Chains A and B, each alone.
Chain A
């Protein structure tokens, strides 16, 4: 007999980190040539002219690597690599369970696939970038001698490399608070937007850093959302994944959080020290953690593909997203509902709703998808657990908060956008 979850406490307990302003007014580095000395390779994003942004949470920095990979290709290669974690493990001279695949992105120009990897699970995991070319060949993309620039992230949580993994509602999270600095990253309208947490009150944080990098940019004061399933305002829960999204010619961030509210906020609001209020426009399901999200257009309709920890892959119809009304507190009592310092209980029951906002379908045939990347206009790249996992468990990451617990082997494959 296997019974579903009994309890699901909300926010991680006791998330308080000592402030340490190590980077005040630090200038950016580069462009320069040489070794890009990353401490971790986590989230990836592509910018203009084949520039690969690599989020280094542990080093509290974003690197912009000029890959020179600018030969255009229209379509992505059809990839089907079974056991890619085993293959990477043997290439890097270790066992597959010591390989964390932290992110996958496709260069929109060349359609080559880039993977950020930790070689080793522990705090001494070595950051590695790998690349799959158009013939499907997997190689290292060495950072020993590259043209790059780097910008530090001020106010990052303190680094405690040896801290034991911490329990969170979603599973084990990284013990090193520094690994929480970056949860997702995108290039939007000339800026690198970095989601994560900052040490000031452990707030949910969005930084908008103009590229080319000039100087370090402090994040927003915090990002507050009305989380209707919890029946309260939240500013501590970090954004799990986000995408840039244009609505009526205005750039927005579409972000999701644990327990899956879908939140919209204008990019123009992301200013240093500003308090940003996100509009919750849909609720995609309780007890769930969104892993990855990609927007696409098919047969004249707009969709989001959302990979989730327990709710599979959702295909969300987002036609007319601009007309969605925000989900707001029902009354004044709800309006004053704020998350407590250390949250163990839900907000007021009467303030919450179950689900709502937007129509979606769950693609039942796609299980255990841990990473997704848009391959080209009609294909998506999936990193999938061969064991057909329905519920993703999280272990502590070393280049980000979490890494999914792998039950079978990891397969990387291209499929047509559903």
Chain B
């Protein structure tokens, strides 16, 4: 080994060793480089730039210091969850070094997701009136229509069959969005129905696609999108008839559920709240693609005669009310419920 080679060998660890940028306890550090005495704090921001990893990002506010011979940048504010940061070290005579760091995990709350789309059945009558999208947490407002898509059987997007209104139909907690199929296309004899046909065509296949870019009330996107495929079925213009409901009665002294089976799916939102057993408290589960209503009492059943009270506003998925079809009497579409009669079904617990 000659002298020159030995010098090179000796110098390498001093200047040629790659500098690394480290993130420790919220502070960015350049390891393996000793700040030149000639460099002043005014130079440090050009030597070591830290920013959000976005094009043309302005430098992040913070302070530079030299601690134990290491250049340190302390951001003014704690690193934000879900944000990626870029740190670039670039000093004369040293290789440019770039490193990326992620802010802390969003550990506080899980991402919001879609927990259900109703009707859950795969065959929707061509005159289906509503769909509900349920979310696990409150959603943002005003961007629903950008994230809801309906595809035809070839996967091509079609014009939304829903009544697209700026005032989105949210529940008070912003966790349920109601989609109304355009009533003008459902009702026979109306111009839209005659020109465009019903929103769902019998026999055709569709996919309702919700993309994951939809933001929740915190401004964060959904954990993932959602896809529901369905087929158009024949229109249903028959009012639900109570005498076709099957009632399975529980045994006295048990906590068994009272089970009602419907011959066709009912409106998911309504069926949960418009059927009750007067004098008995308990919880309701709607199951089997909205053809089953199960009521579990909070106290064991007592033997005796009961009745099931059904609010006549209850609708099937085509908007047909108990004993009254949807497109028979238009003027009563939004009739107030106070004047409605109720239906009742007697049952006995033995």
Contacts and interface: CB of A to CB of B under 8 A. Distances in A.
A165 B174 contact: yes
A13 B174 CA distance: 14
A6 interface: yes
Given A13-B172, A94-B80, A405-B142, A396 B164 contact: no
Contact of A2 (B59, B75, B166): B166
Contact of A90 (B52, B138, B218): B52
Contact of B52 (A5, A93, A119, A165): A93
B136 to A, nearest CB: 12
B163 A91 contact: no
Given A171-B141, A396-B217, A5 B80 contact: no
Interface residues of A, number: 39
B140 A95 contact: no
A356 to B, nearest CB: 26
Given A92-B77, A93-B52, A172-B174, A1 B58 contact: no
Contacts of B173: 164, 167
A377 interface: no
Contact of A93 (B61, B138, B143, B164): B61
A7 B334 CA distance: 13
Given A4-B166, A92-B61, A393 B83 contact: no
Interface of chain B: mostly helix, strand, loop or mixed:
loop
A87 B58 contact: yes
Interface in B53-78: 54, 57-62, 75-77
Contact of B83 (A2, A87, A94, A396): A94
B284 interface: no
A160 to B, nearest CB: 15
Given A167-B173, A171-B141, A393-B142, A93 B60 contact: yes
Given A2-B164, A3-B165, A5-B166, A97 B60 contact: no
A126 interface: yes
Contact of A140 (B51, B76, B143, B166): B76
Contacts of A91: 58-61
A121 B58 CA distance: 20
A98 B167 contact: no
A195 to B, nearest CB: 25
B172 A7 contact: no
B55 to A, nearest CB: 10
Nearest to A121: B219
A165 B142 contact: no
B85 interface: yes
A121 B217 CA distance: 9
A407 to B, nearest CB: 9
A172 B141 contact: yes
Interface string A67-107: 00000000000000000001101111111011000000000
A395 interface: yes
Given A3-B163, A395-B141, A396-B217, 9 more contacts: A86-B54, A89-B52, A90-B58, A91-B59, A93-B60, A93-B76, A165-B217, A171-B142, A405-B141
28 contacts: A3-B163, A5-B165, A7-B167, A89-B52, A90-B51, A90-B58, A90-B59, A92-B60, A93-B52, A93-B61, A93-B80, A94-B83, A95-B52, A95-B54, A95-B82, A98-B219, A122-B218, A164-B173, A164-B217, A167-B170, A172-B140, A172-B174, A172-B217, A391-B166, A393-B141, A394-B141, A395-B141, A395-B217
